[in-house]
Amino acid sequence: MTVGGLVLAAVLTLAQSTSAPSYGRVAGQVVEQGRNSPIAGARITLMSAGRPTTMPPPLFETMADADGRFAFDAVPPGEYRIQAIRAGYAMPTFDTPPSSVSVAAGQTQSDVMITLLRGGAIAGRVTDATGEPQAEVRVMALQRVQNGPPMPVPTGPGAQTDDLGAYRVYGLAPGQYYLQVIAQPMMGPFSVVAARPTVSIPTYYPAARAIDGAQTITVTAGETVKDADIRVIETAAFQIAGIVIDETGAPVAGAAVSVMSDRNPASGMPFMFAPPSNATTNADGTFSVPNLSSGTYIVSAGMPMTGGPVRSGGIGATAVSGVSGFTNFATWSVGPNGISFPGRGNQERITITDANIEGVRITLSPTNR
């Protein structure tokens, strides 16, 4: 072969290699389970199922057309999970993982079928002990997961009550559900809240403080369970109060103190999905976190983020992890009634029985203030 022929062959080989498709295509249809009727407007998500090789990992979204059909173009080769959601249909749960799709370079997966089941719903009203409606409180459906954690986990989008205390939780797959009400509206992490003599606590349907005393509700596909009314429990309110100082004994102003319900079932506290109660220390280092019911709480503390280098720590010893939302400290100890606990991680449990907890003493390292 002549030199010119060799050059031409090389050019043709290069052109063929560069024109070869390096991506795949995924196409299919979303239909209703049991009827095979197309579901228009469903949102389909295609997400990488393997260890990501790029950041962020591949994630694609699209909407089904009037015939329930969808397509993803230019999809890198690999294993993916695909799922669809649509209002009025059951949301994916822990027991129903997404389907898997294998994408190869230059190939099209054109027969991907996603089925959705008509969702059920639970509706009712939330009131206090006197029958007054509880507005703008959160209602969540919880479900036990087979081979999952011992406590039920949230399922579906949840709901918020209106001005009459009415709610409707939808998008539920058939099954047994608990309902939980977070009786206090979500608040900012460092909101100043006035102390109250009583407080509404997280309550399970119909009026139980713990999951063991709650009743389950049976949901069927496409049906709404009505009149699932919940009466929230009111109990005496207490506070945890004390002072934050540095290693020299001087008060620390502006420190962040966090009090979160212990989610260990053995603690006797209701398992709730809500942000912790927080407070910042005054100029003299004192703090108080009010409106707490009896039970066990996890107490932690730190300094607000300042944008500088962040070091982290734990009780009585250096650690490697911090508390989300504020810069942690090098060493600290905390205890009720002025007694410091020995180091056991970066937080400590404090139990309220029937009185306020006073004299909690938190020591922060001055090197990280």
Report pLDDT digits (tens) over 235-253: 999 999 999 888 888 998 9
Pick left, alpha or beta for residue 171 (phi over 0 → left; psi -120 to 50 → alpha; otherwise beta).
left
C-beta of residue 53 within 8 angstroms of C-beta of residue 78: no
Whether 34 is in a domain gets the answer yes
In a shared domain, residues 245 and 359: yes
In a shared domain, residues 241 and 364: yes
Q: What are phi and psi of 338, to 5 degrees?
A: 80, 5
Whether 39 is in a domain gets the answer yes
Q: What are phi and psi of 363, to 5 degrees?
A: -110, 125
In a shared domain, residues 43 and 124: no
Q: For the chain, what is the domain count?
A: 3
In a shared domain, residues 170 and 188: yes
Taking only Cα atoms into account, the Rg of the chain, rounded to an integer number of angstroms, comes to: 28
Q: What is the pLDDT of residues 299-356, one digit of tens each?
A: 888 776 544 433 322 222 222 222 233 333 333 344 444 433 333 344 678 899 999 9
In a shared domain, residues 110 and 134: no
Whether 36 is in a domain gets the answer yes
Whether 15 is in a domain gets the answer no
In a shared domain, residues 145 and 226: yes
Whether 10 is in a domain gets the answer no
Mean local confidence (pLDDT), 211-228: 95
Which of 180, 214, 235 is at the close of a domain?
235
Whether 13 is in a domain gets the answer no
In a shared domain, residues 157 and 228: yes
Which of 200, 219, 235 is at the close of a domain?
235
State how far the Cα of 365 lies from the Cα of 369, in Å rounded to an integer.
7
User: Which two tokens mark 92?
Assistant: 């994916």
In a shared domain, residues 306 and 291: yes
Whether 57 is in a domain gets the answer yes
Mean local confidence (pLDDT), 272-290: 83
In a shared domain, residues 159 and 183: yes
In a shared domain, residues 254 and 362: yes
- Residue entry with tokens 């649509």: 86
pTM: 0.71
What is the residue range of 250's domain?
237-368
> If we measure between CA atoms, which residue out of 291, 263, 269 comes closest to residue 278?
291
In a shared domain, residues 225 and 184: yes
Return the sign of the alpha-carbon dihedral for residues 328, 334, 340, 345. Answer: negative
In a shared domain, residues 220 and 250: no
213 has a pLDDT exceeding 60 = yes
pLDDT band at 11 (very low <50, low <70, confident <90, very high): very low
Whether 6 is in a domain gets the answer no
C-beta of residue 229 within 8 angstroms of C-beta of residue 124: yes
CATH of the domain at 142: 2.60.40.1120
Q: What is the pLDDT of residue 317?
A: 23
